[in-house]
A = this chain, B = another copy of it.
Amino acid sequence: MGGDNAPGDVVAGAVEAARHGGVQIMLVGDPEPVQTELARYDTEQLPISIIPSEGVLVEGEPPALALRQKPRASIFVATGMVKQGHADASVSMGSTGGAMAAAAVVLGLSQGVDRPALGGPILGVAPKTFIIDLGTNVDCRPTQLLSFAVMGDVFARQFWAVEQPRVAMLSVGAEAGKGNRQVRETTELLKKSGLNFIGNVEGDDLAAGKAEVVVCDGFVGNIVMKLTEGLGRALSGHLRDTLSGKLSSDDLDTASNELHDLNNIVHTYGGGPIFGVNGISIVGHGAGNASAVRRAIGTAKYMHDIDFVPKLNEEMAEVYARVHEGAPS
């Protein structure tokens, strides 16, 4: 029920996934509108069922309050099905805050994790650079940033089959010691972590793909993500003005649309996993269309197929043990 285009696009994407994606779909939502949407498709042979829920969390609604007032909202019911083992993963197109709260409260946190995190290869120009955290956590302690590094490392290994992902801290200078207090303190932990820690990267290194995993406070990561989106939109308009009449309208559309949507997660993955919870929960962009929903479901399936959550928990335990023992990497 979440997202700007629910339930229409959510149902459409789910039907596609049921037809071609090798998954069974349970649509969690207000039965009537969901049934109405579902009736548009020939689903007789498809593994699709409807699980009734009541209400929906909207963007900006305080999740803790919502959990008390709307315990049967779709996001809580869907996440609960994962917890109870009736589903292998939940997928939601928002709100992000609601999906994260549901994941944290209902699925529970991984060992060593204080709060869940969001991360992803947000830059289309560097599609193999995973940036974490993207805004969930601010004023992070160094141990939190260490946990982000592990989340990114497992993502890069499992999604991209990179054997020794390069893990870096986002900072204001490449040299060791450059940065703020948070960076310097986290650097000490990362050195002991056993991860392939390559030191600092700077803002311009992000677009150059100098590391597979870039760790930062959510305050910084959120600004990186939104600045990228904002620049993309502004440049797209600018390019359209500048090149109008000089390119075929098809070519102009292609070039300008590419710039408009510089945030890569939606395009490639449809949505991002919530990291650090004991179960799979994918949250997509609220504006995602049916195709984004379909890709988000694919991402959920992939995470299940590769045992992402157990692997993350395992590596988290190993890294924390190393850091705690102070063993050299």
Does chain B have a CB within 8 A of A234? yes
Chain B nearest CB, measured from A19 CB (Å): 33
Secondary structure at the A interface, as helix, strand, loop or mixed, is helix
Chain B residues near A234 (CB-CB < 8 A): 125-126, 207-208
Does chain B have a CB within 8 A of A75? no
B208 touching A230, Cβ below 8 Å = yes
Within 8 A of B (CB), among A210-230: 217-220, 222-230
A172 touching B135, Cβ below 8 Å = yes
Does chain B have a CB within 8 A of A114? no
B227 touching A204, Cβ below 8 Å = yes
Within 8 A of B (CB), among A96-135: 123, 125-126, 135
User: CA separation between A277 and B220, bound complex, in Å?
Assistant: 28
User: CA separation between A95 and B237, bound complex, in Å?
Assistant: 36
Does chain B have a CB within 8 A of A44? no
A180 touching B139, Cβ below 8 Å = yes
Chain B residues near A262 (CB-CB < 8 A): 231
How would residues 218 to 261 of chain A score, 1 for a CB under 8 Å from any chain B CB and 0 otherwise?
A: 11101111111111011100110011001110010011001100
B220 touching A204, Cβ below 8 Å = no
B255 touching A242, Cβ below 8 Å = yes
Chain B residues near A235 (CB-CB < 8 A): 125, 235, 259
Does chain B have a CB within 8 A of A61? no
Q: Choose from B230, B251, B254 the contact partner of A205 (Cβ within 8 Å).
A: B230
Q: Choose from B206, B224, B239, B251 the contact partner of A246 (Cβ within 8 Å).
A: B251
Q: Choose from B203, B204, B219, B248 the contact partner of A179 (Cβ within 8 Å).
A: B219
Q: Choose from B217, B228, B254 the contact partner of A231 (Cβ within 8 Å).
A: B228
Chain B nearest CB, measured from A200 CB (Å): 11
Chain B nearest CB, measured from A105 CB (Å): 21
Decide yes or no: A223 and B207 within 8 Å by CB, A179-B138, A247-B247 being known contacts.
no
User: CA separation between A259 and B239, bound complex, in Å?
Assistant: 9
User: CA separation between A233 and B218, bound complex, in Å?
Assistant: 25
User: CA separation between A243 and B258, bound complex, in Å?
Assistant: 12
Chain B nearest CB, measured from A262 CB (Å): 7
Decide yes or no: A229 and B247 within 8 Å by CB, A223-B224, A235-B235 being known contacts.
no
Does chain B have a CB within 8 A of A181? yes
User: CA separation between A172 and B171, bound complex, in Å?
Assistant: 18
Chain B nearest CB, measured from A43 CB (Å): 38
Which of A227, A229, A262 is most buried by chain B, counting CB atoms within 10 A of its CB? A227
Chain B residues near A255 (CB-CB < 8 A): 239, 242-243
Does chain B have a CB within 8 A of A315? no
Decide yes or no: A207 and B227 within 8 Å by CB, A172-B219, A172-B222 being known contacts.
yes
Chain B residues near A125 (CB-CB < 8 A): 231, 234-235, 238
Chain B nearest CB, measured from A127 CB (Å): 11
Does chain B have a CB within 8 A of A30? no
B180 touching A203, Cβ below 8 Å = no
Which 10 pairs across A and B sit closest by C-beta, in order of nearness?
Answer: A203-B226, A204-B230, A207-B230, A203-B227, A125-B234, A203-B223, A207-B234, A138-B180, A204-B226, A172-B222
